[in-house]
């Protein structure tokens, strides 16, 4: 049975030239219907490329074979570039406290690149069963000082995610990003009953993840909220517009905006001492300086090209 009616859908997975699309606003959306769709040629190009998280119109729906065609893309709120996901409301940067070992510079790169999206960013710490309570409190305290909500989990305990689940249900589209092997899929399998996506132990020798999740995929928590699992990766040094950087570190923008500190030069990057009034005694300052330097050299390199 084919219908020519137009439906609004949500792209939940992308592979080659196909997309999985959930029909939106269905009453019993917990187990909503998924359609395998191709895209009408005229829309899937240039700035109209379609990503997981996009709202789309689908037509030529065949309810029997569960096939349809995406015929238009709705205006999106935002687009995260890596991993490519549209319409995100919350980012949960996810790291294990051990196995793989916690790398503060990596945590910082993930957090700062997430901040660029201008959405709420939180930090999830997994595998807390592998460290002492004292170390756990120390880490929570550290990342709170970096300006983040910290959710410390032991995924071996079956009820560890209850508060997080309640929080996720209040949000629209939450994405979990972080290195391979930290437990992103394990957590989502616990959160969504019946979900049994592949997970794998970290490699024995170097305690690195095995890149188990290969695709970005969006799952429904309810009619209004979704979570997105993503393939793990390590973040390369960031090369950003240096003028943006001071606003991405809460330790800096709090001083500038909330406390009203003023430096001698209006566009002070807070790396030269002359006329700079920023209090630099915060833990992430060396990371900030390093990011300014690498973004600067990137900037000058591009000017020379
Ligand atoms: N001890 C302990 N092991 C955990 C915890 N969370 C996850 N693991 C284990 O960590 C391993 C990796 O978990 P995955 O869920 O596959 O990790 P991932 O982040 O999805 O990795 P990629 O898909 O490769 O990006 C699995 O063997 C999990 O059982 C935890 O809180 N404690
Ligand atoms: Mg995974
Ligand atoms: Zn300054």
pLDDT for 28 equals 47
Give the model's pLDDT for residue 230: 98
pLDDT band at 262 (very low <50, low <70, confident <90, very high): very high
What pLDDT, in 10s, does the model give residues 167-191?
999 999 999 999 999 999 999 999 9
Q: 154: number of CA atoms within 13 Å, CB side?
A: 9
- Ligand nearest to the CA of residue 269, numbered in listed order: 3
Give CA–CA dist 183/106, Å, rounded: 16
Q: Is-contact 98 182, C-beta < 8 A?
A: no
- Beta carbon of 154 within 6 Å of any ligand 1 atom: yes
CA 61 to ligand 2 centroid distance, Å: 32
Q: What is the pLDDT of residue 17?
A: 87
Residue 211 CA, closest ligand 1 atom number: 24
Q: Do domains 2-75 and 80-229 have the same CATH topology?
A: no
- Note whether 182 and 200 are within 8 A (CB): no
Among residues 114, 131, 238, the alpha carbon closest in space to that of 176 is found at 114
Check pocket membership of 211 for ligand 1, CB cut-off 6 A: yes
Q: Is 183 in the pocket of ligand 1 (CB under 6 A)?
A: yes
Task: Please give the average per-residue pLDDT across 104-111, as a whole number.
Answer: 98
> What CATH class has 2-75?
mainly beta
Cα dist. 167→1, 108, 170, 245, 251 in Å? 40, 23, 5, 29, 25
pTM (two decimals)? 0.93
Rama region for 211: left / alpha / beta (φ>0; ψ in -120 to 50; rest): left
Average pLDDT for 59-66: 92
Which helix or strand (DSSP H or E) is residue 169 part of? helix 162-169
Lowest-pLDDT choice from 46-55, 56-65, 249-258:
46-55
Mean pLDDT of 54-70: 93
C-alpha angle 243-249-250 in degrees, rounded to nearest 5: 130
Nearest ligand to the C-alpha atom of residue 182? 1
Q: 4 pLDDT exceeds 90?
A: no
Ligand 1, atom 13: nearest CA belongs to which residue?
Answer: 183
Structure confidence at residue 46 as a pLDDT band (50, 70, 90): low
Rounded alpha-carbon distances, angstroms, from residue 171 to 102, 139, 242: 27, 26, 31
| Atom number of ligand 1 nearest to Cα 154 | 31
User: How many alpha carbons lie under 13 Å from residue 20 in its C-beta half-sphere?
Assistant: 12
CA-CA distance, 160 to 137, in Å (whole number)? 16
Residue extents of the structural domains in the chain: 2-75, 80-229, 245-304
Please state the CATH superfamily assignment of the domain spanning residues 80-229 in this structure: P-loop containing nucleotide triphosphate hydrolases (3.40.50.300)
Q: How far apart are CA 159 and CA 191, in angstroms?
A: 10
Q: Is 188 a pocket residue for ligand 1 (Cβ < 6 Å)?
A: no
C-alpha 62 to ligand 1 mean position (Å): 38
Question: What is the rounded average pLDDT of the residues 137-156?
Answer: 97
Query: 123-134 burial string, b = 16+ CB within 10 Å, else e?
Result: bbbbbbeebeee
Please indicate whether residue 184, judged by its CB atom, sits closer than 6 Å to ligand 1.
yes
What is the number of the ligand closest to the CA of 262? 3
Residue 302 has pLDDT above 70, yes or no: no
Task: Encode 122-160 in three state secondary structure.
Answer: EEEEECHHHCCHHHHHHHHHHHHHCCCEEEECCCCCCCC
Q: What percent of the chain has pLDDT over 70?
A: 92
Does ligand 1 have an atom closer than 6 angstroms to the CB of 186? yes
Tell me if 213 sits within 8 A of 229, measured CB to CB.
yes
Pull the structure tokens for residue 209.
Answer: 């993840």
Ligand 1 atom at minimal distance to the Cα of residue 180: 25
Q: Is 53 in the pocket of ligand 1 (CB under 6 A)?
A: no
């Amino acid at each position: 049975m084919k219908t020519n009616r137009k439906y609004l859908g949500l792209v939940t997975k992308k592979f080659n030239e196909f997309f999985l699309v959930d029909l939106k606003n269905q009453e019993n959306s917990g187990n909503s219907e998924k359609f395998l769709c191709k895209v009408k040629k005229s829309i899937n190009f240039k700035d109209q490329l379609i990503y997981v998280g996009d709202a789309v119109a689908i037509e030529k729906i065949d309810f029997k074979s569960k096939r349809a065609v995406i015929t238009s893309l709705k205006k999106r709120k935002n687009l995260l570039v890596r991993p490519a996901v549209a319409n995100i409301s919350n980012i949960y940067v996810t790291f294990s406290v051990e196995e793989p070992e916690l790398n503060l510079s990596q945590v910082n790169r993930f957090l700062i690149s997430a901040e660029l999206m201008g959405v709420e960013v939180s930090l999830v710490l997994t595998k807390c069963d592998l460290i002492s309570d004292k170390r756990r409190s120390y880490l929570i305290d550290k990342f709170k000082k970096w300006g983040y909500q910290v959710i410390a989990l032991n995924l071996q305990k079956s009820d560890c995610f209850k508060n997080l689940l309640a929080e996720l249900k209040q949000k629209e589209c939450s994405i979990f990003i972080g290195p391979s092997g930290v437990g992103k899929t394990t957590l989502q399998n616990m959160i969504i009953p019946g979900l049994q996506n592949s997970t794998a132990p970290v490699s024995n020798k170097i305690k690195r993840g095995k890149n188990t999740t290969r695709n970005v995929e969006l799952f429904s928590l309810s009619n209004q909220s979704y979570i997105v699992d993503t393939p793990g990766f390590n973040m390369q040094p960031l090369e950003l517009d240096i003028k943006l950087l001071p606003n991405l570190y809460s330790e800096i923008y709090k001083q500038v905006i909330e406390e009203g500190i003023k430096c001698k030069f209006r566009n002070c990057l807070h790396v030269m001492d002359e006329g700079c009034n920023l209090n630099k005694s915060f833990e992430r300052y060396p990371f900030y300086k390093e990011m300014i330097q690498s973004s600067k050299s990137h900037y000058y390199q591009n000017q020379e090209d």
